[in-house]
Amino acid sequence: MNVVDSSGWLEYFAGSRSARHFEDAILATNELLVPAICLYDVFKIVLRERSQTDALFAIAAMQQGTVVDVDTTIALNGAQLSLKHGLPMADSLILAITYQFDATLWTQDVDFNGLDRVKYFPVRH
């Protein structure tokens, strides 16, 4: 199973050079988990930078995977991961989902660099 965080989705939708890092995970929709919090983040950013139509198309693409809501277990595990690794709330919930489903997290977010089950791709400028 794979989880792509918001940074990966945004690169993919932008068609950037970094998009290639996330394409395989995103296109394997039968193995793709999409944290609901990533839907929020991607919708907000695409809406701000492009249009509501583009934002809705992005969400429709993301929903080709299995959307995972935050339940009690994920929330509590996320809080523990936040304290253990010094992660912000959204990052800790994404990591909790990754661990709960024995998945791999694909990201450019430096907060995840060096953590178990993470494929980290540094941002290249």
Tens of pLDDT, residue by residue over 58-94, are: 999 999 999 999 999 999 999 999 999 999 999 999 9
Strand ranges (E), 69-107: 104-107
Instruction: Give a three-class secondary structure readout of 16-34.
Output: CHHHHHHHHHHHCHHHEEE
Domain membership of residue 119 (yes or no) is no
| Structure confidence at residue 125 as a pLDDT band (50, 70, 90) | low
Domain membership of residue 7 (yes or no) is yes
What CATH code is carried by the domain that includes residue 29?
A: 3.40.50.1010
Task: Please choose, from the candidates 34, 54, 32, 31, the residue with its C-alpha nearest in 3D space to the C-alpha of residue 44.
Answer: 54
- Distance from C-alpha of 47 to C-alpha of 115, rounded to nearest angstrom: 31
Domain membership of residue 69 (yes or no) is yes
Domain membership of residue 11 (yes or no) is yes
Q: How many domains does the chain have?
A: 1
Side chain identity, residue 87: L
Residue 103's domain comprises 2-109
In this prediction the pTM is 0.96
Domain membership of residue 124 (yes or no) is no
Domain membership of residue 120 (yes or no) is no
Helices 36-49 and 6-14, axial angle in degrees (round to 10): 40
54 in helix, strand or coil? helix
Domain membership of residue 43 (yes or no) is yes
Tens of pLDDT, residue by residue over 48-58, are: 999 999 999 99
Domain membership of residue 82 (yes or no) is yes
